[in-house]
Structure formats: C-alpha cells, structure tokens
Amino acid sequence: VRAVVAAGVGVVEVVDVPDPLIEEPTDAIVRVRLAGICGSDLHFFHGKAPVEPGGQLGHEAVGVVETVGRHVAGVRPGDRVVVAFHNACGACWFCRRGQTQLCENFRNLGSGAFGPGLGGAQAELLRVPNADTNLLRVPDGVDDERAVFVSDVLATAVYAVAIAGLEVGDTVAVVGAGPVGYCCALVAREAGAASVVVIDLDPARLDLLRSAGIDVVDANREDPESALAERTEGRGADVAIDAVGDPAAFASAAEVARRGGSVVVTGMYTSEEIELQLGVWWARAMSLRFTGVCPVHAWWDRAMAMVAEGRLDPTPLISHRLPLEDAAHGYELFAGRRATKVVLAP
Amino acid sequence: VRAVVAAGVGVVEVVDVPDPLIEEPTDAIVRVRLAGICGSDLHFFHGKAPVEPGGQLGHEAVGVVETVGRHVAGVRPGDRVVVAFHNACGACWFCRRGQTQLCENFRNLGSGAFGPGLGGAQAELLRVPNADTNLLRVPDGVDDERAVFVSDVLATAVYAVAIAGLEVGDTVAVVGAGPVGYCCALVAREAGAASVVVIDLDPARLDLLRSAGIDVVDANREDPESALAERTEGRGADVAIDAVGDPAAFASAAEVARRGGSVVVTGMYTSEEIELQLGVWWARAMSLRFTGVCPVHAWWDRAMAMVAEGRLDPTPLISHRLPLEDAAHGYELFAGRRATKVVLAP
Amino acid sequence: VRAVVAAGVGVVEVVDVPDPLIEEPTDAIVRVRLAGICGSDLHFFHGKAPVEPGGQLGHEAVGVVETVGRHVAGVRPGDRVVVAFHNACGACWFCRRGQTQLCENFRNLGSGAFGPGLGGAQAELLRVPNADTNLLRVPDGVDDERAVFVSDVLATAVYAVAIAGLEVGDTVAVVGAGPVGYCCALVAREAGAASVVVIDLDPARLDLLRSAGIDVVDANREDPESALAERTEGRGADVAIDAVGDPAAFASAAEVARRGGSVVVTGMYTSEEIELQLGVWWARAMSLRFTGVCPVHAWWDRAMAMVAEGRLDPTPLISHRLPLEDAAHGYELFAGRRATKVVLAP
Amino acid sequence: VRAVVAAGVGVVEVVDVPDPLIEEPTDAIVRVRLAGICGSDLHFFHGKAPVEPGGQLGHEAVGVVETVGRHVAGVRPGDRVVVAFHNACGACWFCRRGQTQLCENFRNLGSGAFGPGLGGAQAELLRVPNADTNLLRVPDGVDDERAVFVSDVLATAVYAVAIAGLEVGDTVAVVGAGPVGYCCALVAREAGAASVVVIDLDPARLDLLRSAGIDVVDANREDPESALAERTEGRGADVAIDAVGDPAAFASAAEVARRGGSVVVTGMYTSEEIELQLGVWWARAMSLRFTGVCPVHAWWDRAMAMVAEGRLDPTPLISHRLPLEDAAHGYELFAGRRATKVVLAP
C-alpha cells in the first residue's frame, strides 16, 4: 500500500510499504479515507524530532475498519471510525484514571521513535493496536472532514477548556489562531463563555475566526492586555489559553489573564524555557495547567457529540484537500504557512 | 407612591402607599423602571400563599437607585440596578457558603409573611435592605427588559444548569416550556450541551422555543421517553430538568433521564407528594437535586454577563408590556395562561 | 473443585463443581484464598433474588492468579489479586465514563440470572473474564482479610463518600452500623469530615464503631434528628448516608441532613417505595444521590491505598473466620444477625 | 494601649499608641488575648517590606469583642473571636467569588503600606473594619492557642489542600516543615491522603512532624525524588506543596510530583524568579496553583471545625509563649530560627 514517509530533513515521499497485518487479536486494520497534516508532523519534517528515513508519518485519520482481530468487540469490519492519534493500552495506572496521555505504553502514530512498531495515518491502510480503546465509531451524520478533527485537534480543545475550570459567563482569551486556537475558541464559546477573544498576529487567520463570529485582537495593532482589560472592566480574562507553544504566546496568555484566573497551556513545547516570576504568580493567585498531549480517549466522544449535533464546525480550517500522492506538496504548503489545514485522501 | 397590592383572592389593585424610606444605613431606595409578574406571584394571587389584603406584590425589578444609606458602598444614586428577588443578609452561615436561598434572615420581596417588612417590586419605589448584597449594577448595553430576567428567572436557570453537573457534549431534556424552562434550555445550550430538548403540552410555548432554535417534543403527540431515547442511542438524557413544579413533570423528567444521569428540580413545589421507587432510583444510580429558591446573589452576575454579551436573549418571552396601572389586567392574562410573561412599567 | 451453591430457599451447600477453564484469551483463573459473605448474598439465600438450585454464590474474593489467557497483560500467574464483585467489559459507553456499575455487559459474580456464565467467589477456583479490567493486584503489606473488603464494601464506601461532595470540616451522619456503614464512617473521617456520627438500633454494632473512635447515636435511646442538631448548632449533618437500604433508614438520613445538604443512598433497595414530599425537599434545597451498585473498578485502588497505608482497618468487622466447607453455618449466623461479617477460607 | 511597632530594620518595640475607636458603624474593637508572630512579619522586621517607623505589627489574633458599631450584626461585645489576618470588604467582584485575597479593598493588618489605616494584631486593642466579614466566633471548646492558628496558618493549609484537588488515597508531599508545612501535612492527612511525606533540611522541625505521626524525609540524608518514587511504585507524589517560598523548595516540589500531578505553591514569594522548562511541564501534563495570600474568610470555618472536633492540633508548633512586652525577644528568637512559633499575650 501507499504511505507517506520521511525521506530526509524537509522531504517526504509517498512510497509503497508492506500491507499492515493483524499481529495481535486486539488489533484492527483500518482503510484510511482522510488523513490530516498536523503542526506536530512538522517537527519530524523539520528533523527536530527523531524519525528514520522511511519512517511513516501522520496521526490524524478517519477510515473504515477492514479487518479485526479475534478479540475486538467494539468495532466491526465496515464501521467508519476515527483513530486515536496516540495509542493507549487502556489498562495501566494512568489509563485507569483517564490520563491516557501518560499511558505507560504510550505510542504515537507516525512518529518514529515515539511510536515504535506503529505505522502512520497518512497511508492507505493502518494497523491499530488495542482497537477497542483506540477507535471511535463515527455517527452517520458526521462527514469525514468533521470526523478527522475529532482524532486530535477538537478533542484537544474540549480537554483544554475542561481543565480550565471555565464557568458560565466567563471571558476566555485564546492566544493563537491556528487550528488548535480556532477549535479552543469555538469550544469555549459553546461551553459557557460569555465572551471569547482570540489574539494573533496573522490577519488571515484572524479573519477565519471573525467569520466564525469570534471576537479577535490583532496584536500588531492593539495591545492584548489592554484589549482584554477593556472588555472586562479592567480585570482581564478569567481563562487564557496558550494554543501556540511559543514563549511569546505563553507570556501573552499570562498577561491577559486576570488575577485569580487560569492559564492553560495546550500548545506543544519541547525545549523552551522562560523566566517565571514566582512572586507575581503568587501575588496574583494564578492557576497554570499544561495539557500535554491530549488524553484523547477520555474526551473524543464529547468532541464527536458536538460536531454530530452541529454545535461546532471545524471544517472552515481546511484550506487544502489533496490526494495522498500529493503529500509532499501538502507538507510544503503547510510548512510555508500557506495552508491552515491540509487533508489528504488516499 | 403607586404600588400593586393584594385585595382578596384573585384580585389585585394599584393603590397609593407611603413612600419607602431609608430605615437602616445599609438600605437603598430604588425607583422601579420595570417589574415582572412571575409564576410565584400567582400563589399569592390565588390565595395559596399567605398575604394580607393590602400586602404589596412583585419581586422582579430593575430600576435606578434613588437614595442610599450612609453605609452603602457598592451602588450610588443614579446607578441602574437589578434587585435580588429575595433579600439576603450576606453574613450568616448559609450566605457565607453562597447558599443565600437558605439565609437565616431570608425575606422575599412582595410576598406577605415570607417577606416581613419588605415592600413589593411592582411599585414606583422600593426599599432594598443590605443594598450592597442585594443590588447588581446593570451594564450600559443591557436594556431593562433583559435585565429584569436577571433578578430571578435567568439566574435560576444558570444555577439549575450549574448544579446539574452538565458536561460538554451532553444531552439535556427540559420539562416545561414556560419562562424558567425557556431560560434553562437557552442556558444549557450555551453551557456545553450538544443537544437540548424541551418537552411540553402547549404548542404555542413550544413554538417559542422552536423559534429560538431549540428542539422540542410535544408530549401530546410524541412519547417523551421514546423521543429522548431516539436522540441518544437508547440511553436517555444525561441531564433532565423539571422546570414546572408538578408531579407529572417530575415523573417525566425522571423518565427521560438516562441511567447514571442527573435530575434537577427547579420548578417550585409546596405540598405535593409522589411515590418514589427507591429500588429503581438505586439501580439506575441516579442523582436528584432540588434548587429550592435560587441563591440569586451567587449566580446573577453570570446571568448578566451572558445577556450583556448577547449570548442569551430572554425577551421573546415577554408577551405583554403594560403600564403599572394596568397590573390587574396583567395578572388576569397571566393567570389565564393568555400571557407568557408580563412586565409592568411604573 | 468445591464451591458454595444455592440449594433452595434458606439452604446452601458446598458441592463439587467442574473446574473453571480459560474460555476466552482475556480470562484469568483465580485460586480463591478468602471469600466474604455479603448482605446481598442473603437476597439469594432468602430466595428474593433469582438463582437456580445449584447456582454458585459469592462475589467478594481475594486469591492468587492460577492461569491467564493469552491476552491478559496486567496480571500473571502467582499474583495475589482482588476480584471485582461485578464483571465489567471496560469498553462500553458507561465503562468509558467510569460508571462500570451501568456496564452494558454487567454481570455479577455468584448471582444466578444477574451473572450468566459466571461462577461464584465462594469456591476454590474462579474464572474472571476481562481479567485486565476486573482484577487488582494486592500490595505485599496488605493481608487477605483487609484485601477482601476492597473487592466490594470498602470501595463502595469510598465511592459513596466521594459523590457526597464532602468538604473538609463537614459533619457526616451515617445511618446503619453494618459493614457498609462502618466503612462509610471510617472513610468519611479520613476524607475530611470534622465529625462523623453513626446511627443504629443495635448496641453491639454501635460498640464496634465506638471502638473505632466514631461517635454514635443509639436510636432507641436518643432522637437522631436532635442528636445531629445538637452537634451542629441546630443545622443538621452536611452529608447523611443511608447505608442500610430500608425506608426507615432513608427517612432517618433525610431527617438528620441539614438544609442545602446532601443525602447519599448506598444501601441496596429493590422494590421499596416511599412518599417523597417534593415541597419539603425543594424548600430545603436538598441533593439526593443513589450509588447503585458501586462502580468498583473506578474506586478500588483508592480503597486499596487507604488500607495499604494503614489509614483504615475494616477487619474488626470480621466476627467469624470459617473454612469454606462450613459455609452453611456461616450463612446461618449471618442471616440470623449473629455475625457482623463472615469470611470463608477454601 | 500597648502595641508592637517597627522601630528600624531588625528592631521592634512595645510602645503606647492611642486607643483605637469605632470609626465606621461596621467596625468592631477587639481586646486581643493572643497574637502570633508569623513568618511574614519578618519581611517587615528585616526591612524587606515597607513599614514606617512606628507602624504597628502583627496580623494573627484571637480576642474578645469590646465594642461594636451600630451595624455590626454577627458578633456582640463579649464574643471570643478570631480576626481575619487581612481585611476584606465582602462586597467587591472578587469577594463575591470567595477570592477575598484579591479584594479590591484588600488591607493586611499590621503591615504598613499594605494595610493603610489599620493597626496591628500584636497590641492590646485592635480595630476591625467590616466586622461581620472579618471576625469569626470561637466555639467554647477551642482554646486561644488553637484559635490563633485559624486566623491565618491553618486556614491557609485548608485552602492549599483544597485547591490541590486531593482525592482519597493520594500521596502528598509537603516541602517545608515550618508552621505552614506542618499544618498542610496535618490537613492533607485528614483530607483523604493515604500517605503524607514532609521534606525539610532541619532535623528538629522534622522531629516535630514525626511526633505528629507524619512520615518525613531529611533532604540532607536522602534524595527527595527517590524517596517519593520508592513510596509510589516509581511515580512520585500525586500532590506536592511548596510550603516554604524559596526557589529550591519550588524545584523540590516540582521534582517529587508525579506526571499528571499537581504542584501547589503556598509559601510566599516576592521577587524570586526561576527558569521554567515549558517542555518538561507540558510533557508531564502538570498543574501548578499559587494560593497567594489565603482567602481566609472562605476557609476559616472549615479550619475551625477541624480544631473544634479535635481532628487537628497545631499547638505543638508553639515553642515560645511570651508576654506582649517581650515581643522584641520573640522576634529575635523567631528571626534567628530558634523558635518554631511564638505567641504573645497582652
């Protein structure tokens, strides 16, 4: 079958790989219908995260179950499913607490050393271990494009908003208008925020939010801290979400949050450091939560319910729909920030 | 000043009453701009709750502060304010926990024996004790009609939804399409419900919900339990709210809720009894919460934030806008179920 | 192997049954070291719940894993384990939410029609389906007598206290001084209650609590409502737990709870009915939660941690330690209320 | 009346000051029976925080109400009371949310520029504004020494543990064996922790904890991270509390906390900075909460209930009981770390 693989720094190729097979009776094989290119795929593309040449890529997928092992009970061949972007065992100490992102057997799809033994989602076929835990059926009314967001970005947004402790009537600031920020803003609005404000520097991305009816602040033209203060009688946001993963975004989230408020970091960090002024955070009685990788298994059916009922529509984020064979072009567009979201159809 | 008073069972009059005065330095006098007639006013109107002839009526009001006692710090003359429908001391054991509906000095406005020493909101002027606790400033962008709902019904809905333990993606059933049910439905939708279904027997009331984009079930034509089961793969509603206060409504809420779900009773009960099958409730692992009177002081700024930001609009409920002098007509309409909500302007 | 079976109303026998075998690769076979007789076993003993003659009994067990199917990852032969008293699939909609008591494939051990295909825990060997979900390893420092409580009663108490919404400093009333009430009292004390009061009519059972340092009320000699009022400046208990499962116990719990407080029903009900005065519950703003069967899988490691660290000791409840062959005698003692807790060693 | 005042860096004196008077009808005058010297008093003593020469000191007090203003309803002359260490208005946006530490009219007792217009608690008489909000009656069974801890340290511990999200069965690490750490350890144990471990370098302070039955780690002799790993199958503490307010303590708390765990900072910071490795905190999915000053008004009755019922005893912390006139000696002992806790009796 055809699959996207890493072929060196900044190069991906679509090549033939062996058909994945049922290895354990708890495995399923999924025929991919749509796969996303995600910001974290770029870490491998840019050589910042370890993947060997020939390593398969991609972790966001919706597809149809092709075959299942003898001990898969939850899905059957023919079921349309979303694949969890990271594979959890479902049985360890952390999984039993719903913290599947800390699974003792954590493996990420399509991510080299972080997913040993696993293929990638940008492929025609994909083996999914522990299928009962790592596949979620897609209701009939939800199309592939909506469903693919549930495998990662939208579940992440539901989780980030949940741990923020959002209450009805709160003001929420989201730093970053990329796919995660977009979804966080939509989820926060539906989850009780009286007002949601997204902060970014990219006018095109902000336009996308504006089209979705979300209030935006262009940080080139307006000071975010003042903008939030104006909207909150001087207090600042009850909840501020860093949906970027960059120290400047963190600083901005910290700055726009009110005293006694909550900062949630869902944008991915690796080796970044910042100076944290302990006295300021203490005097302001702040709360700071890091999502880490989303424990998608505990949150994705909530994300699915929201798209199924039409409460959220993430598809305006999709700027490019390409055949799988054009994956290289898709990576180029996305790496060059000329695409908001690229989806690949095998 | 002019005020609405009880004049016998089924009779109200607008009469002259003495001007209310500052009695304690923590009092404020409010010039009423708009007062609502509420379902619980009918208890007094119908003689089911104790009020002496001449007792003032009404507990929902928005107005402008006329004068304040020497020790009122939070509001000033000229401020437009909402008046808490029940007056709390703010200092007792229950108030300190935010359970102001259980205040040891609980007094309801305009409700005879339940509000000794207090006037009613359906009047030109109103004395408000403990003004710092019992008045909430109205932001400039919020008109009187929206604001008057914050004094009671809308805060009640925010509270009912909050204690339901609603999570993002849940299905919520609301039994009753009156003002409280209408507001509960709107709040539940904004607070994360993927789907909200309102059940009632009155087509006109259901139409009002339908116009607000809410899914409805006419219990004359469709079995509510089946209707909810269909929408939830057979499970039933995660949360069911009895917004009526009638044993049939309670039974309906219990019936449409899923196993392990939550039933919230916010409709007012007085002497009603039901048979509760303990084994059924136990086996289904249900949760049952009674709001009682809403602890409005702990929730009204959340309700106000939602109307201020345009997330909720309760005003389609207002079917009749009358001058205070026509209060008798308003009570007739409302008692005869020919009005959804009547507001009176002094 | 030898096993306890039902042999008619009020009669149990120890007989030879076929050795249980691995039927599915997710099964484990456990050699039982200690099994409890539980109050709910008496439902079968008394013929109130359906079990055919020859049906195996018992659902509380600690033992050692004898063999495991090919796809059991969490336990190995030789591991000492507690067996979940009800077997959950771990994969359905309810299991994914931690509500394993509502599992779509719910089967109770040793309970006839409620556990089709399953044996009972009062036996030498026991087959455990979905072993990764339904077995919990026992730390070395925890003896069998402590561990056997984790399979049911102690996890139930941890769950009941958790859903009560207990806060540090609260007063907790427990109605019923049997094993569940005893454990609820101990857990509540460790979970932040400033004061725990157990109410019962049986002086011997109350003495057991008194020996554990718990305050008691003998309802023969003292009015429970007054007793709680005295201890709480007249308010009543913040949390009241019905640990019996009898309408009189329910009434007592409702009576001793304060306004705005919480009543939790963990004692098992089947066909009992009560009159619920909706107006009283509404005016008092009460909360009422039914645990149903405990979702033991979500709570048992918390119970295990508490016994492992010596924070709780349920073993004073054990009044009789008998060999498995004396099961009939054990049932008689327990049914005749001459035993608090009987454990059987195969 | 006699009062302790700052007289230069490292110098305090007991001098005559004018009798405090009722200035507002919501004031009370309290005759102090016992006042504590707290770690934060040393900030003023050492000249790190701004207080003018002659400024009164002290913010922990228990006393008897001497006189009350006309509009004080909650306490009467003769009542024994604890005084809130910081004075809150009870009416602003933050106070209405229970975040009284962020009160818009925040004033700390005995702290110069941070408490304009207020006296200090280390004095014979003390004026307490907003007396209904800022005084808590002491039950008869609670002696002055226990009560004085409720005004600050013990309420702080209750709050720190509450926001940690502690669940029954958790392992809690407390960094710092001073008064705050001591109280946090005791509260955590009573609030459901299966195991509490206190980390410090000072053997004498650790001995005090050991005498209270708490497990300790002497960081001179044992690596805290390894010590916690050993006790938790390698995971680390579910909750780690920095009860010191020093970057090394913060680092230690972060280090002993498990992945997905919670770090709470209650030790006071002013201008300290640390390097925060965002990638590590993100990958570990951590939660970080800063208490700031404790919102004592929302938590002190829980602390009081715990001492009233004998669940907690903070008095072993008191190493020195001195007359008010010996305050200078008390400050010296405490500043020189020769005292754990000093209380002064006027």
Q: Which two tokens stand for residue A334?
A: 């996305």
Name which of A32-41, C337-346, D43-52, D68-77 the model is least confident about.
D43-52
Which position has the token pair 């209060």?
B327
Q: If you measure CA to CA, which chain A residue comes closest to D101?
A: A285
pLDDT of residue B201: 96
pLDDT of residue B111: 86
Q: If you measure CA to CA, which chain A residue comes closest to D266?
A: A282
ipTM of model: 0.95
| Chain B residues touching D25 at Cβ < 8 A | 25, 70-71
Q: If you measure CA to CA, which chain B residue comes closest to A307?
A: B194
* Contact at CB, C90 and A89, closer than 8 angstroms: no
| Chain C residues touching B268 at Cβ < 8 A | 282
Bridge partners (DSSP) of residue A4 are A14
Give the whole-number percent of chain A exceeding pLDDT 90.
88
| Chain D residues touching A292 at Cβ < 8 A | 260, 282-285
Give the whole-number percent of chain C exceeding pLDDT 70.
100
Through-space distance between the first and last CA atoms of chain B, rounded to whole angstroms = 10
C-alpha to C-alpha distance for D288 and A254, rounded to whole angstroms: 13
pLDDT of residue C73: 84
Asked if B125 contacts B18 with a C-beta cutoff of 8 angstroms, the reply is no
What are the φ and ψ backbone dihedral angles of A203, each rounded to 5 degrees?
Answer: -60, -35
Give the whole-number percent of chain A exceeding pLDDT 70.
100
Q: If you measure CA to CA, which chain D residue comes closest to C161?
A: D168
Q: If you measure CA to CA, which chain C residue comes closest to D305?
A: C169
The CA R_g of chain B, rounded to the nearest whole Å, is 20
pLDDT of residue D43: 86
| Chain D residues touching B25 at Cβ < 8 A | 25, 70-71
Q: If you measure CA to CA, which chain C residue comes closest to A298?
A: C96
Instruction: Convert the pLDDT of each residue in C72-100 to its tens digit.
Output: 888 999 999 999 999 998 888 899 888 99
Chain B neighbors (3+ CB pairs < 8 Å) = A, C, D
Instruction: Convert the pLDDT of each residue in B277-308 to its tens digit.
Output: 999 999 999 999 999 999 999 999 999 999 99
| Chain B residues touching D74 at Cβ < 8 A | 91-92
- Say how many CA atoms lie within 13 Å of A90 toward its Cβ: 26
Give the whole-number percent of chain D exceeding pLDDT 90.
88
Mutation test of the interface with chain B: which of D71, D79, D105, D135, choosing the one with the most B Cβ atoms within 10 A?
A: D71
* pLDDT exceeds 90 at position A71: no
Return the SS3 of D329.
helix
What are the φ and ψ backbone dihedral angles of D15, each rounded to 5 degrees?
Answer: -135, 170
Shortest CA gap D302–chain B (Å): 11
Per the prediction, chain A carries an average pLDDT of: 95
Per the prediction, chain D carries an average pLDDT of: 95
Mutation test of the interface with chain A: which of B140, B146, B159, B168, choosing the one with the most A Cβ atoms within 10 A?
A: B168
Mean pLDDT value across residues A53-78: 94
Write out the residues of chain D at the interface with chain A, using a CB-CB cutoff of 8 A.
93-94, 97, 99, 101-102, 163, 233, 235, 245, 247, 250, 259-260, 265, 268-279, 281-293
pLDDT of residue C299: 95
C-alpha to C-alpha distance for C107 and B258, rounded to whole angstroms: 20
* Contact at CB, A290 and D293, closer than 8 angstroms: no
Residue B196: Cβ within 10 Å count: 28
* pLDDT exceeds 90 at position D90: no
C-alpha to C-alpha distance for D283 and C263, rounded to whole angstroms: 41
Q: If you measure CA to CA, which chain C residue comes closest to D189?
A: C190
Shortest CA gap D184–chain B (Å): 23
What are the φ and ψ backbone dihedral angles of B43, each rounded to 5 degrees?
Answer: -60, -40
Closest Cβ–Cβ partner in D275, D282, D292 for A282: D292
Write out the residues of chain C at the interface with chain A, using a CB-CB cutoff of 8 A.
24-26, 70-71, 73-74, 89-91, 93, 96, 98, 132-133, 297-298, 301
Mean pLDDT value across residues A119-124: 97
Mean pLDDT value across residues A274-288: 97
* Stronger pLDDT, A284 or B270, i.e. the higher one: A284
Mean pLDDT value across residues A128-134: 94
C-alpha to C-alpha distance for C318 and C179, rounded to whole angstroms: 9
Per the prediction, chain B carries an average pLDDT of: 95
Kindly give, in sequence order, each residue whose CB lies less than 8 Å from that of residue B227, ignoring residues fewer than 6 positions away. Answer: B197, B199, B217, B256
Return the SS3 of D132.
helix
Mutation test of the interface with chain B: which of A137, A154, A168, choosing the one with the most B Cβ atoms within 10 A?
A: A168
Shortest CA gap D70–chain B (Å): 10
* Contact at CB, C192 and D195, closer than 8 angstroms: no
* Contact at CB, C132 and A91, closer than 8 angstroms: yes
Kindly give, in sequence order, each residue whose CB lies less than 8 Å from that of residue C214, ignoring residues fewer than 6 positions away. Answer: C185, C186, C189, C196, C197, C198
* pLDDT exceeds 90 at position D284: yes
pLDDT of residue C25: 87
pLDDT of residue D116: 85
| Chain A residues touching C74 at Cβ < 8 A | 91-92
pTM score, whole prediction: 0.96
Per-position DSSP letters for B163-197, written without gaps between them: HTT--TT-EEEEE--SHHHHHHHHHHHHBT-SEEE
Name which of A305-319, C39-53, C312-326, D79-93 the model is least confident about.
C39-53
Closest Cβ–Cβ partner in C26, C74, C91 for A74: C91
* pLDDT exceeds 90 at position C191: yes
Shortest CA gap C158–chain D (Å): 8
Q: In which band, very low, low, confident or very high, does the pLDDT at C325 lie, cut at 50, 70 and 90?
A: very high
Return the SS3 of B135.
strand
pLDDT of residue C306: 97
| DSSP classification of residue D19 | P
| Chain C residues touching B254 at Cβ < 8 A | none
| DSSP classification of residue B3 | E
* Contact at CB, D169 and C306, closer than 8 angstroms: yes
C-alpha to C-alpha distance for C219 and C224, rounded to whole angstroms: 6
Instruction: Convert the pLDDT of each residue in A135-180 to its tens digit.
Output: 999 999 999 999 999 999 999 999 999 999 999 999 999 999 999 9
Chain C neighbors (3+ CB pairs < 8 Å) = A, B, D
Q: In which band, very low, low, confident or very high, does the pLDDT at A90 lie, cut at 50, 70 and 90?
A: confident
* pLDDT exceeds 90 at position B245: yes
* Stronger pLDDT, A270 or C156, i.e. the higher one: C156
From residue A181, how far is each of A187, A206, A317, A340 by CA, in Å?
A: 10, 10, 11, 12
Which position has the token pair 């409005």?
B296
Chain A neighbors (3+ CB pairs < 8 Å) = B, C, D
* pLDDT exceeds 90 at position A193: yes
Helix axes C247-256, C224-231, angle to 10 degrees: 30
* pLDDT exceeds 90 at position B137: yes
* Contact at CB, A302 and B190, closer than 8 angstroms: no
Q: If you measure CA to CA, which chain D residue comes closest to C311?
A: D194
From residue A278, how far is each of D111, D266, D271 by CA, in Å?
A: 21, 11, 7
Instruction: Convert the pLDDT of each residue in C142-190 to its tens digit.
Output: 999 999 999 999 999 999 999 999 999 999 999 999 999 999 999 999 9
* Contact at CB, A71 and C26, closer than 8 angstroms: yes
Q: If you measure CA to CA, which chain A residue comes closest to B311?
A: A194
| Chain B residues touching D79 at Cβ < 8 A | none
pLDDT of residue C90: 86
* pLDDT exceeds 90 at position B50: no
* pLDDT exceeds 90 at position B217: yes
Residue A323: Cβ within 10 Å count: 12
Q: In which band, very low, low, confident or very high, does the pLDDT at D114 lie, cut at 50, 70 and 90?
A: confident
Closest Cβ–Cβ partner in C25, C74, C96 for A91: C74
pLDDT of residue A263: 98
Q: If you measure CA to CA, which chain D residue comes closest to C305?
A: D169
Mean pLDDT value across residues D83-101: 91
Closest Cβ–Cβ partner in D168, D190, D304 for C158: D168
Mean pLDDT value across residues B87-101: 90
| Chain A residues touching D292 at Cβ < 8 A | 260, 282-285
Compute the count of residue pairs across chains B and D with CB atoms less than 8 Å apart: 32
pLDDT of residue C86: 95
The CA R_g of chain A, rounded to the nearest whole Å, is 20
pLDDT of residue D53: 87
Return the SS3 of D231.
helix
